[in-house]
Amino acid sequence: MDGVIALYKERGMTSHDCISQLRKILHMKKIGHTGTLDPGVDGVLPICIGQATKISELLMGSGKVYRGSITLGVAYDTEDLDGRLIAKRPLNEPLSAEKIDELLAKLTGDIMQTPPMYSAVKVNGHKLYEYARKGETVHRDPRPIHIKSFKQIKPAVFDTQAQTQTIYFEVACSKGTYVRTLAVDFGKLINMPAVMSSLTRTKSGGFDISQCVTLSQVAQAAADGQLKEIVESLTTALDQYPVYQLDDRHWQIVSNGGFLDQELSPSRAPIVRLDYQQQTKALYQLDDQKQVYRPFKMFLANN
């Protein structure tokens, strides 16, 4: 079976836990996710199975959308509530909605972000969280990210007793963005400790949370012989690419890994999807130098 399962990852599970359980349910080893979600984060986790594992990096490269909250007045070493409280400062009065919008806007567009110490980014051959767990802090180079939008989704709540304020947001961002670091950076704009107090991924890899199924639903579908009902085809997963329907002659060329004339796509799209008999068989990439389309990703056994 080849395709993508739009899985809803529950909180308390790691992405690896999901893969491990799916291997048992599906009795398959060729399974991969499209970008980890922290245990405390729930939401969309596209799972590639069979030949679809070849497109996992393409799905990972697509933009993501999250909904969550930022709490001002407290800070944690992990930048979320799973860590240790490291700072606390009362917020004397709540930020207005207009001020919040102004600050969120400052964190949009092309920005540089420093990865958090509690992350899997490697420095000198070791993951940052390995240093962090030993109480060490190492230099991290800022990395470019793109924040398409960062906005409020409902009125912020001010806790008069704790003197904290919780802001509810939706953010659309590029691959490699740490949303919990965005929360901390929001606080820095007004010199206040801040923490990402909740997070749900609502879109990833072209899939929306409304399309997701749970592990228990996958297990039930497998038991009922209905897996095809919940596995999205390669055609669906790759529907963002322009498609070319292969005739028998072109299929013979593609099935042997041959090049195709650039006229395959009059618009000279960088990548095209090749379908044969209603099945996606390959992605081909434009080679400007040779003026041909050449193999990029092959799914010849997909049927």
Catalytically active residues are 38
Task: Find, among 280, 268, 208, the residue nearest to 239 by Cα.
Answer: 280
DSSP 12: T
Which of 266, 268, 274 has the alpha carbon at shortest distance from 245?
274
Comparing CA positions, the residue from 108, 106, 105, 133 lying closest to residue 119 is 133
Considering only CA atoms, give the Rg of the chain: 22
Chain center to CA of 278: 28
- Render the burial of 234-267: b for 16+ CB within 10 Å, e for the rest: bbebbeebeebebeeebbeebeeeebbeeebbee
Contact 129, 139 (CB under 8 A): no
> Rounded distance, CA 47 to CA 81, Å?
27
219 membership: H or E segment, kind and range: helix 215-223
DSSP letter for 232, please.
B
Angle subtended at Cα 257 by Cα 254 and Cα 258, rounded to the nearest 5 degrees: 75
Q: State whether residue 102 is helix, strand or coil.
A: helix
Q: Name residue 177's amino acid.
A: T
Helix or strand (DSSP H, E) at 33: strand 31-33
Say which residue the tokens 């009795």 belong to. 27
